[in-house]
A and B are shown apart, each in its own frame.
Chain A
């Protein structure tokens, strides 16, 4: 198939990088896309063989399914093993809405529908019945919407589950849907299958069983879904999905509403399958439960694993290649073997049917790809140019910075703002009282009281295991508070979910660094802006001027934030966060937290693992943040850093607050010395 060959030729332009400049790379990619499109458009004209065109149209259906599954598995990282269920739902939706299977009795209720041409009145010996004849073109979006509804319905119970459990639940739904189809013959004609599904018509032309029109509809469907996938991927929506894929807890702490975005991924992924189901059934003009069983879900999974999970071009190429393998190559190879068998007079060679071993090949593809090339044929992640020596050499800076980048132009209003604004001015910014957290028998925090006045730096110190990080986790909603209250700017936040707390202006870093390792530094920082941006799925798809402006401003803003750290992060903006040095990962995490435009910044051991010069540099920078109006709550083991930055120090030990006061006073406190340095030091 020529278009697939074209895509393969495109490989180096999409994945290659290195010395090529960006501009020429983009131009070459654009040229490649143009060539592929031309080849795909001309294919039926050049080939002319109806069977080949028909297989190509089927291959498009599977490419469309692969694109949909790629949204769920590739972008959002939710392994769905029952994806064929949505394919089935879309297929039966059209199948029932345009066949003779369901024929309710005619009544006045149907008259407006008849006027809309969705049903017709059909005379039988036993009275008049309704004949559904909904147009294919109308059913494409309707089936997508129905499937999306079921995507949300099936997705909702799985939201709290870990990845592998989610796979099993989706597998369960994938089993249930075809069984229900088989067991409700009144609607689906059961195992016998729906028959006589109407073929699409366009301007009076009936598609019938002619392969060419289906080929073009399939091509258009794949092109549209690729466009949609790519647009979503390069937007706030795609970034939020990938953040969830990379690290759910960090995504939530950066303001991504996990529930909403997971459901959105399920819905959009299911919608792709729903529309594809309609296309597929219109083409086959029949639907049986066997068409939508587990092997189909696995086949689509094989396609995206083969092509490259998360890569839009990759999954399409993967789907097309495997379909070609199945419908042409193995057939041809079997024919050749039969001929060979006749030639050398070997009986079994004449009966080999390689096409029946396609699932065996799928199994080997899954295993071998996972073992040797997990990123697939066309990886989703581009390589980047190596840094110059200049860019690599860190310049140790002192003195922090003068000013922070201003806020984004017209950010959406902060949640909770206004309602509590009046009270916020008077009281402390953060006020924790009587906070108790238990993990089973362990009391991680016991009746902790603490208050952070606005625009101050407060440090929390204490031995390991004293509850410092738990305190941060509770304040940011990662761990639920057992008892007690947490007020931020006067508003109770202890029952809010992490992203809601972030929206109110609380951002954090993690002790054990939770960046999104397979996203670039720039993307990491832009995910921080998630709650301050507006673009929804429609905006991402249409890319209206407002969305364009917002995206450009966000990118610019992210670069400004990276620039705060001198030449440490900015030259590495397009590098994967996972490839950075330890200290740079810490800095990126702070940059990401700053991008959320916080009022209160919680830093969990920001200088851990840094040498003395780097520590001083970062301490200066933290001080500048404070001088620019940020309130900072800091966990830190290095007491000289604490003494330099903090106005107030709180000491935790075994979950209890044992001391509080200015750094010098706390340093002399006997209880603190005992907790920190041991009993003998206290009495020395």
Chain B
């Protein structure tokens, strides 16, 4: 394989990872846009929901990669797994907001962010203590189908990931821009106080943001499992930080920003790993995070907020 072919293949891989990061980044951006809160719990909502997806598939009698489905059976299994994972993740996100963040509404400073670190730690350790420290073999009913395009191989699971990501992002776009609740959400993101005075139920908007963000993290988690064929208590941290970097890179608070940022981070991860070294990937990504925050804190799509005094 030529160097060019290798890079092209890494672009394909990067787009798959990027689709996953974009879905995860949307959760950070939705919550940040409304509450101006970096939600560290999101890292491990992602991790926990990968187990939801695993259990859902196991419930259908699928374990490991041995049982391959096709046709309507496959579609049904996938729809069921995505639905269970996303709804489970959404409920988890809403529960976190309701129990640990709502009481802190209106408290100045970093209290809410510290709380999300605590929640994240709790989720992390619950899985560590109940499931254990090992990696779990992820059930995967997808047949292995490969297409060869010149030097680039495309797999069925990659097409599935892209398809799911595009559908979910379009759905989110439609929801935010075309529905009543979506309009309330945009209004709250601009100015929560004014939105409240105009009769918008801000708590409901926040719950919606947590539900949607967490559900998208659920989808990303299932994609993670199907893509890598494993899950573990530890996956939330690295994936979460990369997705957060994606959200910042795109301009945190901006929905298209999170999508584009996710794809960019996916590409940076695979191409950086290829061109430099995999063991430096995290250093590259964190350096990008720092550089973006320092030089373009509004990111690629962020809007500049006027200075308040």
| Chain B 230-255 interface mask (CB, 8 Å, partner A; 1/0) | 00000001000100100010000000
B309 interface residue (CB < 8 Å to A):
yes
Chain A residues whose C-beta falls within 8 Å of the C-beta of B128 in the assembled complex? 359
- Asked if B304 is at the interface of the complex by the 8 Å CB criterion, the answer is yes
Interface stretch, picked from B15-23, B86-94, B117-125, B190-198, is B117-125
A175 proximal to B (CB < 8 A): yes
Interface residues on B, range: 35 or more
A360/B121 in contact, CB under 8 A: yes
Of B149-157, B170-178, B199-207, B279-287, the one contacting chain A is: B279-287
Residues of A within 8 A of B279 (CB): 179, 182-183
Asked whether, in the complex, the Cβ of B100 is within 8 Å of the Cβ of A168, the reply is: no
A364 at the interface (CB under 8 A from B): yes
- Give the Cβ gap from B84 to chain A, nearest Cβ, in Å: 26
Q: Quick check: which of A44-52, A156-164, A272-280, A528-536 contacts chain B, the rest being far away?
A: A156-164
- Inter-chain contacts of B160 with A (CB < 8 A): none
Q: Is A357 an interface residue (CB 8 A)?
A: yes
Contacts of A81 in B (CB 8 A): 117
Given contacts A172-B290, A249-B309, contact A163 B110 (CB under 8 A): yes
Interface residue tally for chain A (C-beta within 8 Å): 47
Q: Within B89-122, which residues are at the interface with A (CB < 8 Å)?
A: 100, 103-104, 107, 109-115, 117-122
Minimal beta-carbon separation of B27 from chain A (angstroms): 15
B278 to chain A, nearest CB (A): 11
Would you call A169 and B120 a contact (CB within 8 A)? no
A173 at the interface (CB under 8 A from B): yes
A330 in the interface (beta carbon within 8 A) = no
Cα of A96 to Cα of B104 in the assembled complex, Å: 45
The B interface, classified by DSSP as helix, strand, loop or mixed, is: helix
List residues of chain B with CB within 8 A of the CB of A223: none
With known contacts A176-B283, A360-B125, A366-B114, A478–B309 Cβ distance under 8 A: yes
B294 / chain A contacts, CB cutoff of 8 Å: 157-158, 160-161, 169
Q: Flag whether A215 is at the interface (Cβ < 8 A).
A: no
Within 8 A of A (CB), among B258-309: 279-280, 282-283, 286-287, 289-290, 293-294, 297, 304, 306-307, 309
What 1/0 mask marks residues of chain A from 152 to 193 whose CB sits below 8 Å from any chain B CB?
000001101101110111011101100110110000000000
Question: Are B309 and A510 neighbours in the complex by a CB distance under 8 Å?
Answer: yes
Query: How far apart are the CA atoms of A473 and B279 in the complex, in Å?
Result: 48
Nearest to B120 among chain A residues (CB) is A363
CB distance from A511 to the nearest CB of B (A): 9
Contact A360 B122 (CB under 8 A): yes
Please, which residues of chain A bring their CB within 8 A of the CB of B280?
179, 183
The answer to whether B110 and A164 have CB atoms under 8 Å apart is yes
Q: Are A370 and B114 in contact (CB under 8 A)?
A: yes
Q: Determine if A359 and B124 form an interchain contact, defined as CB atoms under 8 angstroms apart.
A: yes
Structural contact, A440 and B110, CB atoms closer than 8 A: no
Q: Cβ of A298 and Cβ of B110 under 8 Å apart?
A: no
Chain A positions within 8 Å of B112 at CB level: 370
A469 within 8 A of B: yes
The reply to whether A364 and B309 form a contact with Cβ atoms under 8 Å apart is: no
Instruction: Specify which of B237, B287, B289 is in contact with A294 (CB 8 Å cutoff).
Output: B237
CA distance A462 to B308 in the complex (A): 20
For residue A367, CB closer than 8 A to chain B, the reply is yes
Chain A window 368-380, contacts with chain B (Cβ cutoff 8 Å), 1 for yes, 0 for no: 0011001000000
For the complex, is A362 an interface residue (Cβ under 8 Å from B)? yes
CB of B37 within 8 Å of the partner chain: yes
For A249, what are the chain B residues with a Cβ–Cβ distance below 8 Å? 309
Q: Check: A79 CB closer than 8 A to any chain B CB.
A: yes
Residue numbers in A under 8 Å from B118 (CB-CB): 362-367, 370
Q: How far is the CB of A258 from chain B (nearest CB, A)?
A: 15
Interfacial chain B residues near A349, Cβ < 8 Å: none
Cβ B283 vs Cβ A179 within 8 A: yes
- Is A359 a contact of B309 with CB atoms below 8 Å? no
Assess whether B145 is interfacial by the CB under 8 Å rule: no
Binding site for B on A (CB under 8 A): 77, 79, 81, 157-158, 160-161, 163-165, 167-169, 171-173, 175-176, 179-180, 182-183, 249, 294, 298, 301, 305, 356-357, 359-360, 362-367, 370-371, 374, 439-440, 469, 473, 478-479, 510
Ordered by A's residue number, 20 sampled pairs between the chains whose C-beta atoms are within 8 Å are: A157-B293, A158-B294, A167-B113, A168-B38, A173-B286, A175-B282, A176-B282, A182-B279, A183-B280, A294-B237, A305-B114, A357-B129, A359-B124, A360-B129, A363-B124, A364-B118, A366-B115, A469-B309, A478-B307, A479-B307
